[in-house]
Structure 1
Amino acid sequence: MTFDDFKALARQTLRNPEQAARWLIGQGWPMQVRWMALVLAVSLSGVLAFVSTLLFPVPEGQATILPIAGQPLVLAGMQLVAIVLGAGLMAGVGRMFGGHGRFEDALLLAVWIEAMLLIVQAAQIVVSLILPPLAGILGILAIALFLWLTVQFTKALHGFTSGPKVLLVMFGTLMAMGFVLSFFMAALGLMPEMPQ
């Protein structure tokens, strides 16, 4: 894929995400290419997060929400696991509801969502340097873009027609995953202690 192809696909993703998803799936790239794209995407995301912490350090004594942002390898590893898990859920839960998507294609679509979010992440860093108040708006837009693309790509992956139903199932899955993860974290003693 050339840079011009990348730009064209990014524009197509914003205009017609389902068509862009079908084009990506139709390329038939081997699994090795999909894994390499995933590693590249999370590596770039980790680097951008690290650059962001260098440009906008947290003041001394102030608690930070994501202290791992200063550790790009750890952040990239966590993102890699999250994307693989998300792709597994996109494929598996969709099939439970009558879809026909495969994990390989869900992984490719999840990587492309990450690539689109990288563009927003880079823009957010630039905007933070020029017009800091607008950076927060870009953060909200990134969340909205993630949800919208995930719904549209899931529809394309499984052949679903209802966006609201996909969104509802997605939120239900996220809540169930949050419950399961909190249970495991509590069992492993990783949950923060409650004040007495």
Structure 2
Amino acid sequence: MAATSRDTTAGGMTHRMTDDAPLEFTPRALVAAAVQTIRNPREGAVRVIRTGLPVPVLWTMLAAVVSASVVMGQGTLIVTTQGGALANPYLANPLVMCAIQLGLLVVMVYAIHTIGGWMGGQGAFEDSLALVVWLQFVMACLQVVQTAALFVLPPVADVIGLVGLVLFLWLLTHFIAAAHGFRSLGMVFVMILVSAFGITFVMSLVLALFGIASPGDFNV
């Protein structure tokens, strides 16, 4: 029987969704949902919000996705650089890398929720958290493809890396717009760039005050 459609609201906006909109947590269904999210970011965002997972579960999922991404990334670096990457004190310890990435994502979650609210957004905190988790999952799927290409055709892996950066910003823009009900993607994109610059500047000052060197002080 064909799935029927219905109206659902996220961030103050109404979308047409099918009855099977909530995510199904099987590997095949999640990968299919990730592909569909790339094709239609806003609909993918609404699916994630509609799933309505509890906040503690979302934090656990975020930690799991980050851990998997770090393990995969470090494994690839060790193989491709023949262990040379381990000379970098940040890359040598997976726990440090995991903590750094997780910390940055936590800042992203609160920034999306707080700054979006300042700009008149209507999204809930759990919506921002859920979308950051889903964004990381989609990027992790792309990381798997990039890793496979790295061993088969390295130049293609470089292209995938550039595509991944564009895709990250594209999805993030749509996700924030869906979560907060913003209609102008251009405004959201500018807000992302300005916020990223401001947050990076503040974090650099804080790290400098505590005498912590930035990752750029080490050679990879």
Specify whether residues 170 and 65 from structure 1 end up closer, same or farther in structure 2 by C-alpha distance, changes over 3 A only: farther
Greater share of strand residues, 1 or 2? 2
1:3 lines up with 2:6 in the alignment: no
How do residues 139-178 of structure 1 correspond to structure 2 at under 5 angstroms? 139-178=161-200
Greater share of helix residues, 1 or 2? 1
With 164-173 and 76-85 compared, the bigger mean Cα shift is at 76-85
How far does the alpha carbon of each residue in 1:132-184 deviate from its partner, in whole angstroms, 9 at most, with x for none?
A: 11111111111111100100000000000111110101111011112111211
Partner of 1:32: 56
Contact 1:49–1:69 (Cα < 8 Å) also in 2 = no
1:109 lines up with 2:126 in the alignment: no
Query: Secondary structure at the residue paired with 2:161?
Result: helix
Partner of 2:95: 73
| Cα RMSD after superposing both structures | 2.0
For 1:32, give the aligned amino acid: P
Aligned with residue 124 of structure 1, among 135, 138, 146: 146
How far does the alpha carbon of each residue in 1:91-133 deviate from its partner, in whole angstroms, 9 at most, with x for none?
A: 1100100001122111110011111111111111111111111
Partner of 2:78: 54
Please state how far the C-alpha of 1:4 moved relative to its aligned partner.
2.8
Partner of 1:92: 114
Contact 1:42–1:80 (Cα < 8 Å) also in 2 = yes
Please state how far the C-alpha of 1:40 moved relative to its aligned partner.
1.0
Contact 1:58–1:64 (Cα < 8 Å) also in 2 = no
Contact 2:116–2:180 (Cα < 8 Å) also in 1 = yes
Specify whether residues 27 and 59 from structure 1 end up closer, same or farther in structure 2 by C-alpha distance, changes over 3 A only: closer
Percent pairwise identity: 32
TM normalised by structure 1 equals: 0.90
Unaligned 5+ runs, structure 2: 1-24
Query: Secondary structure at the residue paired with 2:90?
Result: helix
4+ residue runs over 4 A deviation: 63-67
Partner of 1:15: 39
TM normalised by structure 2 equals: 0.80
Specify whether residues 114 and 15 from structure 1 end up closer, same or farther in structure 2 by C-alpha distance, changes over 3 A only: same
Contact 1:50–1:72 (Cα < 8 Å) also in 2 = yes
Q: Distance in 2 between matches of 1:105 and 1:142?
A: 23
Partner of 2:208: 186
Q: Distance in 1 between matches of 2:53 and 2:105?
A: 18
How far does the alpha carbon of each residue in 1:28-62 deviate from its partner, in whole angstroms, 9 at most, with x for none?
A: 111122112111101101111121122112686xx
